[in-house]
Amino acid sequence: MNLLRRILGLSANSSATSAEDRVTITQGEPEPSSPPEPVIESPPGDQPPAGSGNAQASEQLADAAGQTRQLPPLETVVPLPGQRLTFGQLSDIGMVRGNNQDAMYSFIASSSSSDDLVDVGLFVVADGMGGHHDGEKASAITARIVARHVLNEIVLGLLDQVMDDPDRPSISEVLRQAVQTANDTVTEEIPEGGTTVTIAVIMGDLAYIAHVGDSRAYLITEDGIEQITRDHSLVQRLIELDQLTLEEAAEHPQRNVLYRAIGQSETLDVDAITRRLPPHSRLILCSDGLWNLVSEQVIHETVLRFGNPQEACNKLVDMANERGGPDNITVILVQVPG
């Protein structure tokens, strides 16, 4: 624990203060030229926000807790010949940082044979923390280990035709194991580093997502944009407890404080979410260097304006840099056929 305090720059007596004392809302403080490194603290309160009791509120509460909700009866994506998953990706150092502590990984497996193997896409975004080099090492290790674990368990499992084995872990369990394996390695090899991670595995018209930290996943359709993941940050927790508004959260001096991240404890709670992807929808994975500066409405409009996913990624990063680019910026945009 003393090591954790040194990592976070906390005094020995800081743990004795209450969560309410640590998260006092202040306004009007000058904005730093570079955002502070994310740090880890315990969330205020130990109960989820109260729901209204109706079905819609229960569904929203399940999403907020990172649980899988019932899949809606949407049309299954059956690609026409030549129609496959496509994606664009870009990671940029931004306008202020001295190095890029973000990491990303993308992989698509596509085939055509009598085996009728489903197309598989794997996409990973990690946002490192913990100093100049520790953060970039933590995110790189996490992206690599997560990718290797998923490829071994899912892609090779499909090729070996053993995915229907009832003794095999589910895809969500595979993703949780991948994150825990990365957590074990980062904790051992980079004791003063940490990272967020958001993973998406797409099989057919289903997206399996695992998530720790505040890198986000969005689902974009013609009708709108929806944040799928829930930030593991203190300001998000305060919003859920009705102690902070979205407007106050955007300016809060502790908006970079996380209560869950890879490399900060031996055991880790991992949100696992399953969503059905409508035909011609898009899935975005991004670090906070994008969503902190470019609004959801602008992200939605930009993605729909560009038919090419790579061109959309380039434009989104440009807009973040035009708004000051105080942090590293990473975005992956996946387009579903249909």
Which CATH number fits the domain 2-23+35-335, given the four candidates 3.60.40.10, 3.60.110.10, 3.10.350.10, 3.40.50.300? Answer: 3.60.40.10
Q: Would you state the pLDDT for residue 3?
A: 38
User: Per-residue pLDDT tens for 29-88?
Assistant: 444 455 666 666 666 655 444 333 344 444 444 444 444 444 444 334 455 555 789 999
Q: Would you state the pLDDT for residue 82?
A: 59
Q: What's the per-residue H, E or C state across 273-286?
A: EEEECCCCCEEEEE
Rounded average pLDDT per 10-residue block, the chain, 338 residues? 40 40 38 59 52 42 47 45 85 96 96 82 95 90 98 93 88 97 96 95 95 98 97 90 82 83 92 96 98 97 96 98 97 94
Q: Would you state the pLDDT for residue 79?
A: 52
In single-letter form, the type of residue at position 18 comes to S
Q: For 196-217, b where at least 16 C-beta lie within 10 A, e where not — what string?
A: bbbbbbbbbbbbbbbbbbbbbb
Q: Would you state the pLDDT for residue 40?
A: 64
What does the domain layout of the chain look like in residue ranges?
2-23+35-335
Q: What pTM was computed for the model?
A: 0.78
Q: Would you state the pLDDT for residue 289?
A: 96
Q: Would you state the pLDDT for residue 72?
A: 43
